[in-house]
Amino acid sequence: MKKRLLISALVLIVMLFVIYRISVKTPADIQSDRVGVATLFIKGNCLSCHSANPELPFYAGVPLVGDMVKADAQEGYRMFDMEPMMEALENNGRISPVDVAKVEKVAIDGTMPPMKFYMVHWGSQMTEDKAEVVVDWARNFRTEYYADGLDEDMAGEPVRPIPLAYSNVDARKAELGRILYHDVRLSSDNTVSCATCHGLNTAGVDNKQFSEGVQGQVGGVNAPTVYNAVYNFVQFWDGRAGTLAEQAAGPPLNPIEMASKSFDEIIAKLQADKELTRAFAEVYPQGWSEATITDAIEQFEMTLITPNSRFDKYLRGDDDAITDIEEEGYELFKKYNCATCHVGVNLGGESYELMGLRKHYFADRGTELTVEDNGRFKETQIERDRHRFKVPGLRNVALTWPYYHDGTQATLKEAVCKMGTYQSGVALTDEEEDKIVMFLNTLTGEYQGQTLTNDNVQP
Ligand code: HEC
Ligand code: HEC
Ligand code: HEC
């Protein structure tokens, strides 16, 4: 009697196991394309934890279990909103390279959906062969998205080289933009130009925690570099400018920065300069206006790119361009999720991300919250956007100290250490930090054929 019960139980277990294996198996016809990965993500129930209004499973109503389910859904959505990507997959829309990097990483690591979820939802587990489908799709996506012709073995990398030359720049407009960029007449008392805070010989930054505008007034947020800003999907930490031209209209009238009353005030001063006005009218027949001034500055900023860093040479196939330790640093950069936010040509500038994803950065900082700490929330007033910032690019980052929007990190090593803690949820070892910093050092590129340097000396 006992024996028969045991045998029945065993048979049942084996049957359940077989059914389980069949349910998690990747169907043979799943392709590494939009339809294929969309199918996998739907099977994985990703949206039940990664969207604003998830469809919760029936047992979400059960006491205790239900609370756990809801907590997961809340935490999942805080971390990652997957709806835009699913919509784009289904409607052939634009997919963010950051979202691609994120889902690829959890597929490789096998962390999503969480085990407690796939133990209940059979078939949702991201097995190795499903992960392979996702990885292949990510590679295809990047090959097409960046169109940079990287060799087979680099085509899947989340970090991409800067194009060797800029395109679509009108050289004559850019030259006028260069002049205006360095022109103090854009400021109320003729003391401050764009270059005061974004010197081209100081890596496009001022190396101060907060910048100083006219009459020594101090702002409340750290100045990002202008080099490679053209690769950011929006400008400013909070993304309040959509284009470089729109951005360039800000500082001249900002009371703390250049403090001009209006563009009319600026134009009156520029008009008095007969020679410049004549040169300007040759290229812009419509003459001085806010639109033409900011267009010229944008054209100039499009030339502020720094290709040919050692890391870019490595991506293009020169294995000797970086050392083994620097390469290890890059591997760590990918292993610890850094390359899920710092992706693409600029290693950032592609998305807004929560500062303090894994641990409360602002509570630990120990100083009072400022308006600027709100980040994207300042613009949208949407609670989920509080403390979300446009991810800064990491090109030439060795030269752009101090770091973070609040300028609190004096050295790159400190900035890397805290990224581990607050964004990736890992305590990096001293050796790992050093290796990542060494990798970041390989991102210093060339401006006009010369390796970028900084005239300021890091304290
Ligand atoms: C049961 C809810 C649940 C499901 C289903 C789920 N996730 Fe998650 N997801 C979470 C939670 C909770 C976190 C945050 C904690 C963690 O990383 O373990 C998270 C984190 C993530 C992250 C962010 C990781 C990071 O560090 O930035 C990504 C990306 C992600 N999930 C993708 C997916 C994908 C893709 C699927 C479907 C294959 C999926 N998730 C299914 C709950 C879920
Ligand atoms: C007084 C110092 C100061 C001056 C002058 C100044 N900036 Fe800035 N710039 C900053 C600060 C600070 C920020 C960050 C502000 C923010 O994100 O809210 C910034 C942001 C930017 C950005 C966005 C970069 C990014 O990654 O988001 C660009 C581009 C830029 N400035 C270009 C210019 C141009 C062009 C001018 C001249 C028209 C100029 N700046 C004048 C301090 C200055
Ligand atoms: C979830 C997204 C995310 C992850 C993961 C992430 N970062 Fe960041 N990183 C950011 C954001 C957002 C900022 C801006 C934070 C701020 O200014 O308060 C930033 C800032 C930085 C800066 C400072 C740049 C500057 O100019 O101020 C460095 C360096 C950096 N990250 C490196 C790393 C490294 C190394 C890792 C991995 C250990 C990593 N990041 C992981 C989003 C991320």
Q: Is 306 in contact with 204 (CB distance < 8 Å)?
A: no
Q: Is 293 in contact with 277 (CB distance < 8 Å)?
A: no
Q: What is the pLDDT of residues 98-141, one digit of tens each?
A: 999 999 999 999 999 998 888 888 888 899 999 999 999 999 99
Q: Which two tokens mark 257?
A: 């920065």
Residue 397 Cβ < 6 Å to ligand 3: yes
Nearest atom in ligand 3 to 337's CA: 5
User: Of the ranges 44-53, 223-232, 419-428, which one carries the lowest mean pLDDT score?
Assistant: 44-53
- Tell the burial category of 366 from Cβ atoms under 10 Å away from its Cβ (0-12, 13-18, 19+): exposed
> What's the gap in Å between 164 CA and the centre of ligand 2?
25
What pLDDT, on a 0 to 100 scale, did the predictor assign at position 51? 95
What pLDDT, on a 0 to 100 scale, did the predictor assign at position 454? 98
For residue 356, name the pLDDT band (cuts at 50, 70, 90). very high
Average pLDDT over all residues of the chain: 95
Residue type, 69: V
> What's the gap in Å between 236 CA and the centre of ligand 1?
29
> What's the gap in Å between 110 CA and the centre of ligand 2?
41
What pLDDT, on a 0 to 100 scale, did the predictor assign at position 26? 72
Residue 183 Cβ < 6 Å to ligand 2: no
> What's the gap in Å between 442 CA and the centre of ligand 1?
32
Question: How far is residue 145's CA from residue 94's CA, in Å, rounded to a whole number?
Answer: 10
Question: How far is residue 370's CA from residue 391's CA, in Å, rounded to a whole number?
Answer: 19
> What's the gap in Å between 178 CA and the centre of ligand 2?
15
What pLDDT, on a 0 to 100 scale, did the predictor assign at position 53? 86
For ligand 2, mutation pick of 183, 196, 198 (most atoms within 8 Å of CB): 198
Q: Which two tokens mark 46?
A: 């990703």
* Half-sphere CA count of 356, side-chain side, radius 13 A: 16
Q: What is the pLDDT of residues 385-420, one digit of tens each?
A: 999 999 999 999 999 999 999 999 999 999 999 999
Residue 194 Cβ < 6 Å to ligand 2: yes
Residue 54 Cβ < 6 Å to ligand 1: no
Nearest atom in ligand 1 to 72's CA: 12
Residue 337 Cβ < 6 Å to ligand 1: yes
Give the residue whose CA is nearest to atom 7 of ligand 1. 113
Checking 250-256 for CB contacts under 8 A at 24+ apart, the result is 251/186, 251/194, 251/197, 252/186, 252/187, 254/213, 255/217, 256/213, 256/214, 256/217, 256/218, 256/219
Residue 259 Cβ < 6 Å to ligand 2: no
For ligand 2, mutation pick of 188, 191, 211 (most atoms within 8 Å of CB): 211
